[in-house]
Structure 1
């Protein structure tokens, strides 16, 4: 249905290879220590939990929305976004690896604040994480709205007359334009993933698992780091595959001018709606939790549960593409028969 680009093949190879590396490290560095006097509870159960947590975290609504909207924007720029999810996951996982490394190295100041709700670390990361992700998503939504407006101007996606180069106005418009212009290659999503990861929610989870298993106390640091490596492998596998599929769908939709006008407009609308929804819920949560806002509409928005919103987004995009693909094949057969 579409050809895999070199970037897509590299992403899929990494997504498949990293889990193999993670489990190989577990078999060689962790399992031998589980039979001696210093055995810990860091067995298959804990390893599988970390791996599955990485897979589950890859489908968080902010991950899916960030990958989807960035992919859509890069396709509009004529670039291949197949590596967007891979780079995002690697950036996000870097925070987890560094945090666990510091804990296993004996950094008591960090260990004492992990999992403590009222600690300075929790107070900072509780605001940082959702604020960064929400602002990024809202900026990408605005950039894709510009693309949608241009798409409505002609069959080839060009801007309507007089709107080829809209002049940004105001701080928000300049921020949107700068974000859109800067994010011009998939590898730059490493930085975005890193900034998302500084919210520290996943780093705290994996560190607590590590401490609960006793690995951070009795195991060598290089063995203890196998747990975040397995987490990284799970997230890279799912986010990488997601970006390859998303890239293929968006590039397929741009193959024909007529398809660009109707199908692209529908998919961009979905992307924009998703980013606006996730970003608004995130910022509302910050206003309620950190800003003390008690206005009923804001509280209501902040209370929306997005736990399963990510998988729903992926299913909606794939379903929309399948519908369009089947319709295109059907039209092709009808044209051939006539």
Structure 2
């Protein structure tokens, strides 16, 4: 395990300890009410599970996976990508809950109403930002895939001609190239979080809105802290696993030419699917596009796609490891 991976686990562990300790020492003794129910273990577990579930949203998994893939190709350790992304996303949630518990009731009513200006704006912002980001990273990783295949065809030589493309491809790949360090995923997480477009985030804010009316802010803020702890833990572990997977697939010529190419293809395909579905959703819901193919893509249900992506990556790595192990034993 790399030093960065250890630091990620330390931060995630600290958040878990702090959030649950605050719940045990601040919330439970107070017997506070959150709406019509008591802010007890059940509500705390709900906030924590919402954070964990949010970490497995398709756009989260695809963003972390594609960014990790690119950073590995740049020779950098992407183990903290998921941590920075989750912290950026959680910053928006913490700020929003802080406003709600401070008495800005208009925010809760705006989020709870589907036709409110805030809901309409975030309905466009969230999927647009996530889709453009995913398509940019997918394009950058597609360039990497072509380079991997060219190197394999050239027998691993370094004298491979650079790729050339059109103006759009050049702009996208250069934009993706600015994401050259894991900490920059904090900014991406903030931009994703400004969308408020997921059911888990909206549910948490609505719960906090009811809680903030009947309990002090320092008790209500424990809700988003538990949410953050759940999301940081899952996104952090996902990032560590993804980083190790891609480093393993790229640490030998044989893996670079076979397993690495297959994993990049999977990563690119996932990002293109999630990004395209998101953009089509914006075109249908906000731009009023009624073209049948676009509507069909927009109607694609991605609720469980994040879990499927994680499972596919794990299965792909296990399969590659088993084959590599068996080949090593045969040749030994």
Show the 5 A alignment for 1:26-45: 26-34=23-31, 41-45=38-42
For structure 1, the residue ranges without an aligned partner over 5 or more in a row are none
CA deviation after TM superposition for structure 1 residue 167, in Å? 4.5
Q: Hey, what's the Cα distance between the residues in 1 that align with 2:295 and 2:178? A: 34
Aligned partner of 1:210 in structure 2 is 208
Q: What pairs up with 1:115-154 in 2 under 5 angstroms?
A: 115-154=112-151
For each residue in 1:1-43, what CA deviation from the matched residue of structure 2 results, as whole angstroms up to 9, or x when unmatched?
xxx111111112222221121100101111111079x996211
1:209-265 deviation line (CA, Å, top 9, x unaligned): 1234xx201221111100000000000010000000000010011110111111110
How far apart in 1 are the matches of 2:191 and 2:331? Answer: 50
Deviation at 1:169, TM superposition (A): 3.3
Question: 1:229-308, aligned counterparts within 5 Å?
Answer: 229-308=225-304
Per-residue deviation at 1:114?
2.2
Q: Does the CA-based 8 Å contact 2:78-2:182 persist in structure 1?
A: yes
Partner Cα separation in structure 1 for residue 106 and residue 316 of structure 2: 49
What corresponds to 1:94 in structure 2? 91
Determine the C-alpha separation between the residues in 2 that align with 1:121 and 1:237. Answer: 29
Superposed CA RMSD: 1.8
Q: Does 1:196 align with 2:189?
A: no
Match of 2:177, SS? helix
Q: How does 1:48-63 map to 2 (within 5 A)?
A: 48-63=45-60
1:25 and 1:306 map into 2 onto residues whose CA distance is 34
Partners of 1:260 and 1:204 in 2: how far apart? 42
Query: Is the aligned partner of 1:314 residue 2:317?
Result: no
Q: CA deviation at 1:312?
A: 0.8
- TM-score calculated relative to the size of structure 1: 0.92
Q: CA deviation at 1:174?
A: 3.9
**Residue-by-residue CA offset, 1:50-104 (whole Å, 9 max, x unaligned):** 0000000100000000000000000000000000011101111111100000011
User: 1:329: how far off?
Assistant: 1.3
SS at match of 2:283: helix
Q: Summarize the Cα distance change of 1:44–1:121 in structure 2 as closer, same or farther, 3 Å threshold.
A: same
1:109 aligns with 2:140: no
Contact 1:152–1:159 (8 Å) recurs in 2: no
Worse-matched range after superposition: 129-138 or 6-15: 6-15
- Measured in 1, the distance between the counterparts of 2:238 and 2:209 equals 31
